[in-house]
Amino acid sequence: MERRDFFKTALTAAGTVAVGSNPLEAAQTHQPIDDRKVSDINFPEKKPLITYSDRPPLLETPRSVFTSPLTPNDQFFVRWHLPDIPTLIDPNKFTIKIDGLVHKEVEISLNELKTKFEQVEVVAVVQCGGNSRSAFSPTPGGIQWGSGAMGCAKWKGVRLSDVLDRAGLKENAEWLGFNGSEKAAYYETPDFVRELNLHELDDHVIIAYEMNGEDLPYLNGYPLRLIIPGYYSDSWVKMLSHITVSDKYKHLFFMEKAYRVPDNETEGETPEKLYSKTKPITKMNVKSLIGFPDDRQKLYLKSQVVVRGVAWDSGVGIQNVLVSIDGGKTWEKSLLDNGENGRYAYRTFRYSFKPKKLGKMTIMSKAVNNLGKEQPLDADIPWNRGGYKYNGIDTITVEIV
């Protein structure tokens, strides 16, 4: 099945999807549409979230959650490609298998992982490569995410390299294939497997069993998931049960069909002239999001407003988040907090002002990282057919009353 067909199926399967639009903003920019409402479908361990499909579950976190440095587990977004997710996992029986080009094939139990390996922690942002896809014009196929296909958590687990050492890699080992436990509903659809080059991975890559101090929520990959700080989350395989080591890149379905951008300098193309060569998305670009005020919120004239939000990149580090309250004519530095969570985490920012005029006004945020890279204007963002890596300056509209 083509990826597009799959998404179509997923979208028709959706329960309640409330999609609104904001004519004012649409006229000015192609900001992601994120005034969607949370749905009343209940998923295990989750508060109501914006729901695109219930099978497989596709849930987005509302904008207002992005004022805090860690995203709560019960509001964390959810994305699965295949509908048949195991509903029963026995933690006492769950194992992860490592085979292929290893000296010794091993199967490690969850309990062994928690007790026989060094435990490590990292705070890291998970972001779908298609986050904010709805901002692209013309609209690429796929889930029309607003800005909430992302979150930041403190992950605890063991180093991938320690687990691989247990099996012992053979000299010609080059690629790792990571497979989750869920199955496709149709036999033609292959398993969700991601491949990564061994030499790309560093010591920050972990196999996590804990998220924000608790077991991983079922929908976020219980009991084990791969954590690749700085990378888009398509390779953060959930319910990880099998790692295969090989010497060749296998061109598997989920590597060849999705999460790729044009392999040219701007990573751009046009619908009329698609670029022939593509490459997988890997490191995240610099981005920020305003969590408060919410889009279209009413604020009082002359009250003290503290704009708050989050900023992140691939781990280079955030230098500044600039805020504009005059439609982008002038920018001022905000105050950055939560640096102690490390370079893969959200930096929270805050910026105070008093609204002086009644009526509509825009508030914009623009993150700059330590390499001087900053969020571009919408017009400067290269389009790509998959709608990946959107990182335009965030813009919300509020009404002063």
Span near Mo ion by CB under 5 A; candidates 213-221, 231-239, 243-251, 284-292: 231-239
When the beta carbons of 35 and 234 are compared against Mo ion, the nearer one is: 234
**DSSP state at residue 371:** T
How many other β-carbons are positioned within 10 Å of the β-carbon of residue 190?
13
What six digits make up the tokens of 23? 């004519």
Instruction: Say how far apart CA 335 and CA 348 lie, in whole Å.
Output: 8
The answer to the question of residue 80 lying near ligand MTE (CB under 6 A) is yes
In whole angstroms, the minimum distance from the beta carbon of 133 to ligand MTE comes to 11
The answer to the question of residue 387 lying near ligand MTE (CB under 6 A) is no
In whole angstroms, the minimum distance from the beta carbon of 333 to Mo ion comes to 32
**DSSP state at residue 134:** G
Residue 78 contact among Mo ion, ligand MTE, none, beta carbon within 5 to 8 Å by kind? ligand MTE
Residue 136 contact among ligand MTE, Mo ion, none, beta carbon within 5 to 8 Å by kind? none
Say which residues have a Cβ less than 8 Å from residue 171's Cβ, sequence separation at least 6: none
Which residue type, as a one-letter code, is found at position 60? E
Greatest C-alpha distance within the chain: 71
In whole angstroms, the minimum distance from the beta carbon of 219 to ligand MTE comes to 6
Instruction: Say how far apart CA 58 and CA 16 lie, in whole Å.
Output: 12
Say which residues have a Cβ less than 8 Å from residue 41's Cβ, sequence separation at least 6: 15, 16, 48, 51, 54
Sheet holding 95-100, edge to edge: 106-109, 95-100, 240-246, 175-180, 193-197
The answer to the question of residue 180 lying near ligand MTE (CB under 6 A) is yes
Show the site string, 110-149: x = touches Mo ion by CB under 5 A, - = not.
------------------x---------------------
When the beta carbons of 46 and 79 are compared against Mo ion, the nearer one is: 79
The answer to the question of residue 234 lying near Mo ion (CB under 5 A) is yes
When the beta carbons of 84 and 399 are compared against ligand MTE, the nearer one is: 84
In whole angstroms, the minimum distance from the beta carbon of 192 to ligand MTE comes to 4
When the beta carbons of 156 and 238 are compared against Mo ion, the nearer one is: 238
Instruction: Say how far apart CA 162 and CA 170 lie, in whole Å.
Output: 15
Q: Please answer whether residues 167 and 127 qualify as being in contact, where contact means their C-beta atoms are separated by less than 8 angstroms.
A: no
The answer to the question of residue 216 lying near Mo ion (CB under 5 A) is no
**DSSP state at residue 33:** -
Show the site string, 285-324: x = touches ligand MTE by CB under 6 A, - = not.
----------------------------------------
Residue 180 contact among ligand MTE, Mo ion, none, beta carbon within 5 to 8 Å by kind? ligand MTE
Contacts (CB under 6 A) with ligand MTE, residues 91-130:
126, 128
Show the site string, 203-242: x = touches ligand MTE by CB under 6 A, - = not.
-----------------xx-----------xx-xxxx---
Among 6, 94, 136, 192, binds ligand MTE (CB under 6 A): 192
What six digits make up the tokens of 332? 């001022």
Q: Please answer whether residues 61 and 71 qualify as being in contact, where contact means their C-beta atoms are separated by less than 8 angstroms.
A: yes
The answer to the question of residue 52 lying near ligand MTE (CB under 6 A) is no
Query: What are residue 190's DSSP bridge partners?
Result: none
In whole angstroms, the minimum distance from the beta carbon of 35 to Mo ion comes to 22
Three-state DSSP class for residue 217: coil
Residue 212 contact among ligand MTE, Mo ion, none, beta carbon within 5 to 8 Å by kind? none
Span near ligand MTE by CB under 6 A; candidates 26-34, 77-85, 168-176, 242-250: 77-85
DSSP string, 54-114: ETTEEEE--GGGTTSSS--GGG--EE-SSSB--S---TTT-EEEEEESBSS-EEEEHHHHH
How many other β-carbons are positioned within 10 Å of the β-carbon of residue 358?
10
Strands 394-400 vs 298-299: parallel, antiparallel or unpaired? parallel
What six digits make up the tokens of 235? 């390779």
Residue 392 contact among Mo ion, ligand MTE, none, beta carbon within 5 to 8 Å by kind? none
The answer to the question of residue 34 lying near Mo ion (CB under 5 A) is no
Residues that bind ligand MTE (CB under 6 A): 76-81, 126, 128, 180, 182, 192, 220-221, 233-234, 236-239
Residues that bind Mo ion (CB under 5 A): 79, 128, 234
